[in-house]
Amino acid sequence: MQIVRRLVVDLRARANAWSLSVDVAERIRAAAPAGWEVCFVEAPTVSDGDGGSAPSDEVLRAVRGAEAYFGFGISPTLFTVAQGLRWVHSASAGVGRLLFPEMLASSVILTNSAGVHAVPMAEYALGGIIFLLRSFDAARELQRARSWDKEAFVGRGSTIRELRDCHVLVLGAGGIGAAIAQRLSLLGSHCTGVRRRPELGAPEGFDIVVGPGEWEEFLPSTDVLVVSAPGTAQTETIVSASVLDRLPEDAIVVNVARGSLVDEQALADRIARGRLRGAVLDVFHEEPLPADSPLWGLSSVLLTPHVSAVSPRGFWERESALFIDNWHRYVEGREMLNVVDREAGY
């Protein structure tokens, strides 16, 4: 009797943009290697953050005896029930909540979706940077006031600049950071990247890439600081008050990584005092962002509720291609893509 190997797909997200569609489900089913069955969980799940939300009763039943699990992260509870798991693939890029003690102590292969979100997040960052470089924040306030006033654009206090005049420092020169640098460099910006292992070289779009101990010397000449590094113990509050104080007064800060990487209070204080030009923020220390956060009241801060990665069609095209490729690599014993480095935390 042939032993059937089981994949559990738990991707019916409550948010429509992240919920598995019928056509993608069929694509996964059709790609199943010989001897595999696919169990699609119909109970809703949560796709926010790093995933790993409380599991439904349906998925708890489905993972018993499963060899592979494909979801938005995985919770300790679900992991404990799924004793036969050998591979977990997360549709999220971040894995902070997935590195719980049981996972760290296991030999289960953990892969993530790093790079899958790079295109929409790069376009988000580009849009936000242009928003401030062209003083669209001032335009928005003038429109609300029904005021025809050119002073913010043509007066002494104007901060309008072209992208070609900007030096961009990107903290995290991985898939997302590289996609941002590619777009900015094509529009004339000069981009410096920061990565844990600079010996791996500079991805397309960067003039140079430096290591963790070298990037602060570039701060005084940085017009745009982009934060796109993984959230780990090593990157917590990497953009501190002292880092912000070394930036030029007209500098822009962009955070599409995790809220833990930036000192939000220090950032809000410096923007409120006119010490920095403004910020583009999609992630925060606490989400939802509390109503009493000073960031809400700053017109030169563009806030979004952790949605920079949203791109339903593009995401599922890239995500399904990555997963199916990895599935066949797993079955054939080949090197897999996006294997999480448990020690590094991403």
254 to 31, 104, 222, 230: CA distances (angstroms): 39, 32, 12, 14
The alpha carbon of residue 313 and the mean position of all alpha carbons in its chain are separated, in whole angstroms, by 17
1: pLDDT strictly greater than 70: no
Quickly state the pLDDT bin for 50 (edges 50, 70, 90): confident
Q: Are 67 and 82 in contact (CB under 8 A)?
A: no
Dihedral, CA of residue 287, residue 292, residue 294 and residue 296, to nearest 10: 70
Nearest to 85 by CA among 107, 101, 57: 107
**Active-site hit among 190, 196, 258, 277:** 258
pLDDT in tens, 247-269: 999 999 999 999 999 999 999 99
Tally of residues, the chain: 346
Mean pLDDT of the chain: 96
Q: Are 117 and 143 in contact (CB under 8 A)?
A: no
Question: Residue 286's CB: how many other CB atoms inside 10 A?
Answer: 9
| pLDDT for 130 | 98
Which residues, at least 6 apart from 263, have a Cβ–Cβ distance to it below 8 Å?
237, 239, 240, 241, 244
Say how far apart CA 67 and CA 84 lie, in whole Å: 6
Q: Are 113 and 93 in contact (CB under 8 A)?
A: yes
Active site residue 306: yes
| pLDDT for 53 | 78
Nearest to 133 by CA among 223, 222, 205, 206: 223
Q: Is 85 helix (H, G, I), strand (E, B) or coil?
A: coil
288: pLDDT strictly greater than 80: yes
76: pLDDT strictly greater than 70: yes
**Straight-line distance from the first to the last Cα atom of the chain, in angstroms, rounded to the nearest whole number:** 40
pLDDT in tens, 85-135: 999 999 999 998 999 999 999 999 999 999 999 999 999 999 999 999 999
At 81, give phi and psi (nearest 5°): -70, -35
Burial zone of 207 (CB within 10 Å; 0-12 exposed, 13-18 middle, 19+ buried): middle
Active site residue 258: yes
Say how far apart CA 159 and CA 151 lie, in whole Å: 11
Strand partners, 110: 88
The kind and range of the H/E element at 254 are strand 252-255
**Active-site hit among 14, 102, 287, 334:** 287
Omega before 101 cis (within 30°)?
Answer: no
52: pLDDT strictly greater than 90: no
pLDDT in tens, 151-201: 999 999 999 999 999 999 999 999 999 999 999 999 999 999 999 999 989
| pLDDT for 49 | 74
Say how far apart CA 85 and CA 70 lie, in whole Å: 11
Say how far apart CA 195 and CA 229 lie, in whole Å: 8
The kind and range of the H/E element at 131 are helix 118-133
2: pLDDT strictly greater than 80: no
Mean pLDDT lowest among 1-15, 61-75, 231-245: 1-15
pLDDT in tens, 298-336: 999 999 999 999 998 999 999 999 999 999 999 999 999
Say how far apart CA 138 and CA 142 lie, in whole Å: 6
Quickly state the pLDDT bin for 220 (edges 50, 70, 90): very high
346: pLDDT strictly greater than 70: yes
